Amino acid sequence: MTSALRIATRAIACIAVLGLAGCASTTPTREVSSGYAIFDIKPGPEVGPGPIAQAVKVALQKNMTKVQILNGIPPSPLPEKAPRFQLVSPFKGSGLGALAAASGQSVQVPTCEGAILTASAYDGSMSRYGEGTTFFACVMPYQGGLALNIYTTFTKASGAFNAATLGATLARTVVGDTSQFIPRTIADVVDSVKATGATVTMTEAYP
């Protein structure tokens, strides 16, 4: 097939399949978006850290398809100020890190020092259509209460990877993608913590 014929075939396919959506929508594209939300928790007078951590776990189990939990112990002494998660590169200084940097990639993972609960969760219910959501949540005690940190990533494939992702690309122009459920899941986590009698206040968020 000549170059001219390939171009003409693609143009016809774009017009027939995408209409007003535009031919650029057929370009195979993978996009990862990150976000976070940080909350300050003041437990009720008769509620310890345990029920707070349990509430976070249950809310994630309700909303995600896979959850991994690590239960830790509080640091001693407790920090004076509310701690915050950090993004670190697990391959920094290694050959893998140098290889990733050379290819223009940056691998960073969240970590929470002194957390009594660290949860990693994944929702792959829409993976067939090139979408996936990860949640990282941790509960860290400090002298004034507890810090709940939530870090999320949303991966979306679009364009002509296959028929499923192409169909999903078209559908997103009408109904959006599953990243819209990330705020709902965070709200469920917060509501679950509030149900213990705790007061929850957002202190920082992006976007």
Q: Is the pTM of this model over 0.85?
A: no
Q: Looking up tokens 């929850």, which residue turns up?
A: 200
Residue 167 lies in a domain: yes
Q: How many domains does the chain have?
A: 1
Q: 126: domain range? A: 29-206
Residue 20 lies in a domain: no
What is the pLDDT, as a whole number, of residue 17?
A: 45
Contact assessment for residue 49 and residue 189, using Cβ atoms and an 8 Å cutoff? no
What is the pLDDT, as a whole number, of residue 4?
A: 43
Residue 151 lies in a domain: yes
10-residue mean pLDDT profile of the chain (207 residues): values are: 43 43 68 96 90 97 96 96 94 57 67 97 86 95 97 85 59 65 96 96 97
Instruction: Please compute, for residue 41, the number of CA atoms within 13 A of its CA located in the half-sphere on the CB side.
Output: 34
What is the pLDDT, as a whole number, of residue 106?
A: 64
- Angle of helix 163-175 relative to helix 3-18, nearest 10 degrees, comes to 40
What is the pLDDT, as a whole number, of residue 102?
A: 47
What is the pLDDT, as a whole number, of residue 195?
A: 96
Nearest CA to 83 among 41, 47, 33, 51?
Answer: 41
Residue 9 lies in a domain: no
What is the pLDDT, as a whole number, of residue 162?
A: 63
Distance CA 158, CA 173 (A): 11
What is the pLDDT, as a whole number, of residue 66?
A: 96
Residue 7 lies in a domain: no
